[in-house]
Copies of this chain bind each other. A is one copy, B any other.
Amino acid sequence: MIEPRWLDEREQRAWRGLITMWTQLSAELGRRMAAESELSMSDFAVLVALTDECEARVRAYELAEVLQWEKSRLSHHLSRMEKRGLISRDGCTEDGRGQVVEVTPAGKRAIEAAAPAHVESVRELFFDALSVDQVEALAAIAEAGLARVRAAGTPTPQR
């Protein structure tokens, strides 16, 4: 067995730092979101995706694409959100297999109520700690990393 290329000290710092930072940050954002609204981070992500689109009605597979979620996860989550009245689903006329997802008025109200505080939190907990250069660097790092994962990752999980 070949001795693996262990992480050097610098990489170790970056890697463990990234893990801990992300874990803590997303946990805290989630707690705040839950405390101040009736939404979880996942609910929020779905509503953002639905609201971002120009079209009000979005095909489920497009949603999965945008969110980069497994179709199964999306299906389960949409069921829960539908039960809570945040979104609605209807069969698709052009494609008998398809489902079309739409935000309900209640869903729209929910995200509009939650968004401002969430953005504030993201700033307070993260961006306020960074310089403009660091933000720029982070964007580049994220893009490079993502490209790498996409290239090397599992050919097709259950999208």
State whether B17 touches A142 (Cβ < 8 A).
yes
A46 to chain B, nearest CB (A): 14
Partner of A140, one of B27, B134, B152: B134
**Is there a chain B Cβ closer than 8 Å to A157's Cβ?**
yes
Judge whether A7 and B125 touch: CB under 8 Å: no
Contact in complex: A137, B137 (CB < 8 Å): yes
Task: Select one of B115, B119, B122, B125 contacting A153, CB under 8 A.
Answer: B125
Would you call A122 and B7 a contact (CB within 8 A)? yes
B134 touches A144 (CB 8 A): yes
A62 contacts partner chain B, Cβ-Cβ < 8 Å: no
A94 at the interface (CB under 8 A from B): no
Instruction: Write out the residue numbers on chain B whose beta carbons fall within 8 Å of the beta carbon of A128.
Output: 148
Asked if A55 is at the interface of the complex by the 8 Å CB criterion, the answer is no
Residue of B nearest to A13 (CB): B139
- Evaluate contact between A4 and B145: CB separation under 8 angstroms: no
State the CA gap A129–B147 with chains docked (Å).
Answer: 8
The chain A residues found within 8 Å of chain B, CB to CB, are: 1, 4-7, 10-11, 13-15, 17-18, 20-25, 27-28, 31, 68, 115-117, 119-120, 122-130, 132, 134-150, 152-154, 157
Supply 10 A–B pairs (Cβ within 8 Å), ascending by A: A6-B119, A7-B122, A13-B143, A14-B139, A15-B126, A18-B138, A21-B142, A25-B149, A125-B153, A138-B141
